Homo-oligomer: A and B are copies of this chain.
Amino acid sequence: MPVTGRPVSEIVRELPEPPGLPDPLPEPAAEDIRLERVMAALSDPLRLFIVRKLLLDREEFDHPCGWFGLDRPKSSLTHHFRALRDAGVIRQRQYGLERRSHVRVNDLDARFPGLVEMIAAWSPRED
């Protein structure tokens, strides 16, 4: 995975919200995020890839599905992005045709201190 080399201290600080965003899609409130569900969401390699790319290769505030370069059917991607959103890991907004996502760094850090930073610092094995 390409990595920009941004320091971890910057990764765990969520970008400020640009003004005039669409409303977020339905998601759990920060206090309703469950560790078991977050763990289950992050136990899938594809979803872990998505979250890591959002953290490490972030270019904008929000990113559409196409930006990830995932070679999977669209219905599979819908499934995985929804799993991440339902668990409270990402927030999604509808921009016209596109549905863009970012990691809920502030909410995750408030509930589970150190989790986002650990994921950002972790390097997946090659084999």
Q: What interface size band does chain A fall in?
A: 20 to 34
A118 in contact with B114 (CB, 8 Å): yes
Mark A109-127 against chain B: 1 for CB-CB distance below 8 A, else 0.
Answer: 0011111011101101100
One of B34, B43, B113, B124 near A40 (C-beta < 8 A): B43
Q: Nearest chain B CB to A46's CB is how many angstroms away?
A: 10
One of B36, B44, B113, B115 near A36 (C-beta < 8 A): B44
Complex: how many Å from CA A59 to CA B66? 51
Q: Can you name the residue of chain B whose Cβ is closest to the Cβ of A87? A: B43
Binding site for B on A (CB under 8 A): 34-37, 39-40, 42-45, 48, 111-115, 117-119, 121-122, 124-125
